[in-house]
Each structure stands twice: as structure tokens, then as C-alpha cells.
Amino acid sequence: MSLTNFFYPDSVAVIGASREKEKVGHQVLASIIEGGYEGDVFPVNPGAEELEGLKCYPSVGEIDSTPDLAVIVLPAKLVPSVMEQCARQRIKAAVIISAGFKEVGDEGQRLEKQVVKIARRGNMRIIGPNCLGLLVPGHKFNASFGGELPEPGEIAYISQSGALLTSILDMAKSNDVGFSKLVSVGNKADVDELDILESFGSDSETQVIAGYLESIDDGNSFARLSEKISVEKPILLIKSGRTASGAKAASSHTGSLSGSETAYECLFKRSGVIRCNSIIEQFALAQVFAYQPLPQGERVAVITNAGGPGIMATDAVEEQGLTFAQLSQKTMDALRSELPSASNVNNPVDVLGDALSDRYHFALKTLLGDPGVDTVVVLLTPQSMTDCEGTAKAIADASQSVPEKPIFACFMGGDKVSKAVDLLRKARIPNFDSPLGAISAAKTVVDYVRWKQRPQRVVKLFPVHRNKVEKIINRYQRRKQREISEMDSKEILEAYGFVTPKGSIATTAEQAANMADQIGYPVVLKIWSPDILHKSDVGGVKLGLVNRQQVMDAFDLMMLRVPRKEPEAQIRGVLVQEMCREGREVILGMQRDPNFGPLMMFGMGGIFVEVMKDVAFYLAPLTAEEARMMLKSTRTFQMLKGARGEEAVDINAIAEGLQRLSQLATEFPQIEELDINPYVVMREGVTPIAVDARMSVNVEGDK
């Protein structure tokens, strides 16, 4: 869907245009005219003949052509009838600036629905209502009351807060930030963040997308779209309302550890969206992405004219997890031959306090030429000999001659560096007020590059027994029973390829016999202990038991004899089933977010999972890489891969478990949450066991 009529109208009707300066109807008309809009403008107001030197129309129906766009600035209750007129006039796009709709309550909500209905019938699109309008600097088009048109630029902005847009426009002007488009989406009655994002994505004038959002209405579509767009154009979002969701009841570990914030974090991580905490940070990053090339890697070199800032940059590189570039011998020789002998020719390169621009220029060009350097950060303090402006020019020159490597500047000071900072800005070299600021930005860019280079997402589909699961779930839903019993939960898991210890652990001989009855004979009894590796050696395995008596005898003998041979072993009971072994306990889980779908969880298992919080989340469906990434992001992973002499467990088997669970959650949207805890994992080649599981489904009557 194209929003061309909104962004590039050849003619626009301003319905509700006014002569009174304090009225929004005046401000919008004045903004359009003052912005230098070159298309036709039709003010509509039955009470005026002429406005701002333009012929004024009593109604939109009186205009003898069809405007591409209507901008409506009327009291809410008048909007439906005006929309009818617009539809009759075959206008295809309307920006409804007027407030008084959904945001004021039920009556407004009704009015808003009515307006949307009229638009749908007339095949019209709406931006708003309750918005600030939109601005397209390159088209000299300012249909807003937010402020002056900024300079044209590569950054497109979407804001769910109109008022914030006034701050953004004002800050942009002071910071020389240019925009391709700015849209205030208001109540998102029709055009929403997805439409805007899609149009920004395909917009040739836009290279970077930024935005302020309070809600994302269709999480899955947003995930798909933003992931597609992020590959080409970085998306920088402020997402507020972190705490809005409040507490919710959760019956699983996974549920109690997740939440809508977790879902947003997962969404952004997967789709490469870069989250910002403030508009200042967002502007800085937007400029970095718009003006500088992407680095090839994470190796940073630093040039400084003072030790202190050099040390601060070194600290920041370490803290941010970037790599300090190891300069080549050739680079160091070159630096040594040209710089004064007291200079440091290792990274960070210190050109000394009396450095003029020539030393900076030489050092910068030399570092840019080193194949082991991906990004250069140039620090400057305004000492008595320092040539701030000359150095800015030297950086600009070096950047032009080696345009393929990013350069960040950090000129630390006030008046003494301000002209130099202006020069840097004109040369599109991002400048930061602290070494940490520059290095943090470099880190964000490196993370984005890593995300872009991630392996292609291939979600493996395992052969499973969907019918079996379908039947069990239907049974519970028919009975309006949310909680699936442990037995049935394990049936479901088995249908998806998990191994479960049917009947789990018996602690008395009679219990063991009952379990064996349930499972059906013959059964195997195995002592259940994480401390015993070779069960047969200690009499801990009995195969082929065919009746109750045999099971009870085997149980009693096992419980008598095994502790004699292994007095230190932790014995939890006896496992009655086909196969099972000792191992480590982890948790696999899923919590369905109402907006984003299944959130998969992996973590340290056991009863303290909520306390230790050593868990990782990701959105389903999971690829093998994503599952492994989840594992690696926990501290538990260090144990699993065999720390401190412990045997490593089968990492790929755990990842496969997560993928299977992800498939189950994806194929059965009825499942609300589930935990496998503990999921007992063993050495490579041994199938893990889902020892305990809980699962719940949604039932009729749920919202």
C-alpha cells in the first residue's frame, strides 16, 4: 500500500482553515504556505472568501478538482460529515488532526469508528485522528502545527506522541538534523505503524528510520516487517510504556519471568531494531547510521592528544565489549617515523598535547590504512597549541579519502571547540561529548552489523504427531479445563519427539508396580540418581520385568543394594520406563504473549529458577542458531559445556528440544504456557528426558 497521496500530494485541501492565529486551523494552513509548498492549496471554511491570499471554499465539494489530500482541522463531531463530502469528492487520503476521538472515551470511540467506516467505504486512507500532522521537507510540505519544516535529510520519523514531535523538530533544528519525512500517527485509526514503516522502508529518500512508539498493535506483523526493513535500513526506536502492562497471574516459571517488556526485547533483538532511551541518543545514532559507512568488524583504534581521554576510551572499549585494534608493524613504523619521539604509536595513539592538525591527519590516514582497524575514534582536548578547526578539517579530508571506514570524533570542550564541531557536522563526522559516548555508538553499529551478518533463518520442522496433541487439547478445551495434567502434558511432549519418563519416579515398591501397570509390561527399572553413572555396575538396572511382583521385588532389592555400593549417591527413587540416565537439570519453557506469540525460555532448572533468573528468552519459531544463542547467553551454559572438570552435556540436544517446543507452540496457539522442568540433559548422544512438565491451554470464556 502506497502512502504517496500523503507524502507527495500535488494538491491539498485544508478543511477547517482559519484566519485566527491561535487556532490550529490557521497554524496548519500557515505551515503549508510558509514551508514553500509548490502544489495547489484549497482552504475550506464557509465563513471566509479568502485566507492567506488564497481563495477559500465554503465546502470541499465546491473545489472544482479532486485534491490529492485533505487535512481536516475541525471539531470532532463535524468530521464524519466532512469525511462523507471528501469521499464524494473522491479524495483518497485525509490527515485528521482534530482531537476528541478514541482518546476521550466511548463517545469519541464511536465517532472514530464511524469515520473509519466512511473512509473504508470511500476507499480512503486516514492518518490520525488526534495527531500533529506530517512533514515532508524534500517536498516542501508541512501539513502540521508542530513547527518549522526541518532540512531535508535521510532520516524518517514516526511518532505516536504529537507533542514529542514538537520537541523533536525543535531539537533537530538546533542540531542540524535533516529528515525525509515526519509523521504523527495519533490514534492510528487507519494508517498505523506498520503502514508507515512499510512506506519508509520502500522510500528512496529514507536511509534510517527512527520513531517513538507507545504500543505495537500487531506484534507478529511488526516483527516480520521490521526484520525485512532492518536489513536495508536501521530502525531506531524509543518504545515507552515499559511498565504499563502491570502484574499478571502466571502459573508457570516461564510466565512469572516473562512479560510484555521481555517480548518487546525479544522482538527487537530478532528483527534488528535498535532501541534508544532518549531522543538525544536516537539523533546521535541516526546521524551515525545516515552519515558514516558500516564497519567491517569490531576493532577500534583511538587517536588522542592527551593521556586522560585516551584511558577513558580504552576503558570504554573494554566495557562495551569491542576489540582494541592491534596495529600492524607497518602502521607503527610509519607513525614512529613521522610523529615526535614522545608520542605513543600503540593504540591509543597519542599525538601529544602540542599536536597541530598535521599530526592528527597523518595518524588518522595511517590508521585508516591499517587492515586491522575497523573504526577510528578521534579524541581532542583544546590545549593551548591545539588547532581545533584545522583538526576538524583534517578529519573531514581523511574521511573523504577513505570513505569506507567509519570515523567518530570526540572534541571535548565548549566554545573553543564549537566551530570545529560545526565543521565536523558539515562534514558528517559524528561528534560525541565523551569518549564513552563515541565508543557506545560504535558498539551499537557493530551490533547492527553482526545482526545483519547473522545466518539465514531456517526453521527446521520436525515430523510430529499433531493429531494426538489436537485430541488431547480439544478434550481439555471441551471440559473448560486450563491445566493439562502431567501425564497428558508428557503425552503431548512425546508426540513432539520428547522422551519422558512415563510414570516418573517411584518411591515405594507399590507405586512402582502401579506405574508399571499403567505403562504396560515389560518395563525397565533404573535407579534414579544423578550420582551413579554406571547403574548396571551397582545393581541399579533391571530389564524385562513382566508383572507387579517382579517390579516390586526389583524395587526393594535395588533400594537395599545400591546404597550399600554407592553410599554417597543421591537417590531420588526408581524410574519405571524404557530408558533414562543421570544428567543436569535445565528448564525449557514457553509463555504466549498476547501480542507477539510464543516466547521461548531456556535456563537453569530446578526450583530456584525464579530466584537465580539465569534464563534467556526468544520469540518462536526458533532456528537452531537462535536456540544455541539462547543457551550461550546464560551463565548455566558454562556448566553445561563442561566447566571445572564436569562432563559436557549434549548442547545440540537441548537446542533441538527448544526447537521442538517452539514448533509445538507455533502449531498449537491454544497452548498458553508450558514448562519442562527439569529437562534432564546428559552427555552427547544421550537423549534428554523431560522429567516434569506443566502446560495450560486457553479455554472458552478467556479473553
Contacts of 222 (CB under 8 A, 6+ apart): 193, 194, 197, 216, 267, 271
- Return the number of the residue (404 or 568) whose C-beta is nearest its own copies: 568
Smallest distance, its own copies to C-beta of residue 644, A: 5
**CB < 8 Å & 24+ apart, contacts of 307-315:** 307/350, 308/381, 309/379, 309/381, 309/410, 309/412, 309/435, 310/344, 310/348, 310/350, 310/379, 312/434, 312/435, 312/436, 313/348, 313/377, 313/379, 313/410, 313/435, 313/438, 313/439, 314/348, 315/436
Q: Report d(CA 318, CA 556) in Å as an integer.
A: 59
* Residue with Cβ nearer its own copies (580 or 661): 580
Handedness of CA 473, 475, 478, 480 (dihedral sign): negative
Is 50:56 a contact under the CB 8 Å cutoff?
A: yes
Question: Least Å distance between CB 146 and its own copies?
Answer: 8
The least CB distance from residue 439 to its own copies, in Å, is: 11
Grid cell for residue 228: 525485512
Give min distance, CB of 223 to its own copies, in A.
22
Q: How far is CA 500 from CA 388, 491, 547, 591, in A?
A: 70, 8, 22, 21
Map grid coordinates 524385562 to a residue. 544
Nearer to its own copies, 99 or 469 (CB): 99
The smaller minimum CB distance to its own copies, of residues 319 and 333, is found at: 319
Cell of 549: 511382583
Helix axes 624-632, 651-667, angle to 10 degrees: 120
Minimum distance from residue 420 beta carbon to its own copies (Å): 11
DSSP-derived 3-state class of residue 597: strand
In whole angstroms, the minimum distance from the beta carbon of 218 to its own copies comes to: 21
Our CB check for its own copies shows the closer of 39 and 563 to be 563
Residue with smaller CB distance to its own copies, 249 or 342: 342
**Nearest alpha carbon to residue 605 among 634, 628, 575:** 634
- Closest distance of CB 42 from its own copies, Å: 23
Q: How far is the CB of 627 from its own copies (least distance, A)?
A: 21
Return the number of the residue (287 or 662) whose C-beta is nearest its own copies.
287
| Comparison of 291 and 432: residue with beta carbon closer to its own copies | 432
Which residue do the cell numbers 519422558 mark? 500
Q: Is the dihedral of CA 111, 114, 120, 124 positive or negative?
A: negative
Q: Minimum CB separation from its own copies for residue 690, in Å?
A: 20
* Burial of residue 484, with CB atoms counted within 10 A of its CB: 0-12 exposed, 13-18 middle, 19 or more buried: buried
In angstroms, what is the minimal distance from the CB of 566 to its own copies?
Answer: 9
29 vs 472, beta carbon nearer its own copies: 29
Instruction: Report, in Å, the least distance between residue 173 CB and its own copies.
Output: 5
Q: How far is the CB of 607 from its own copies (least distance, A)?
A: 5
Tell me the closest approach of the beta carbon of residue 383 to its own copies, in angstroms. 5
* Separation CA 484–CA 473 (nearest Å): 8
H or E element at residue 573: strand 573-577
If the CB atoms of residues 311 and 579 are measured against its own copies, the closer one turns out to be: 311
Which residues are within 8 A (CB) of 263 and not within 5 positions of it... i.e. 6 or more apart?
Answer: 219, 593, 595, 596, 599, 619
Residue 146 or 678 with smaller CB distance to its own copies: 146
Q: Are 152 and 208 within 8 A, CB to CB?
A: no
Half-sphere exposure of 233 (CA within 13 A, CB side): 24
Q: What contacts 506, CB < 8 A, 6 or more positions away?
A: 512, 514, 515, 555, 573, 574, 575, 576
Give the residue with the Cβ less far from its own copies, 146 or 503: 146
Tell me how many degrees the CA angle 306-307-313 measures, rounded to the nearest 5: 100
- Rounded CA gap, 178 and 155, in Å? 7
Residue 547 CB, shortest distance to its own copies, in Å, is 22
User: Which of 414/685 has CB closer to its own copies?
Assistant: 414
Residue 444 half-sphere exposure, CB side, CA atoms within 13 Å? 23
Phi-psi region of 645 (alpha: psi -120 to 50; beta: other; left: phi over 0): left
Least separation in angstroms between residue 306's CB and its own copies is 3
SS3 labels along 327-363: CCHHHHHHHHHHCCCCCECCCCEECCCCCCHHHHHHH
Smallest gap from Cβ 507 to its own copies, in A, equals: 6
Q: Which neighbouring-strand residues pair with 210?
A: 157, 236
Which of 20, 700 has the CB closer to its own copies? 20
CA–CA dist 42, 61 (Å, integer): 11
Q: Which of 635, 638, 640, 630 is nearest to 688 (CA)?
A: 640
> Could you tell me the smallest distance in angstroms from the CB atom of residue 241 to its own copies?
5
Beta-carbon contacts of residue 678 (< 8 Å; ≥ 6 apart): 585, 586, 587, 605, 606, 691, 692
Which CB, 187 or 230, lies closer to its own copies?
Answer: 187
Nearest to 611 by CA among 587, 641, 637: 587
For residue 548, which amino acid is it? R
Identify which of residues 83 and 316 has a Cβ nearer to its own copies in the complex: 316
Nearest distance from residue 86's CB to its own copies, in Å? 25
E strands present in 162-310:
179-184, 208-213, 235-239, 274-275, 299-304
Cβ proximity to its own copies: between 384 and 467 the closer is 384
Q: Which is nearer to its own copies, 344 or 670 (CB)?
A: 344
Instruction: Annotate 428-469 with three-state secondary structure.
Output: CCCECCCHHHHHHHHHHHHHHHHHHCCCCCCCCCCCCCHHHH
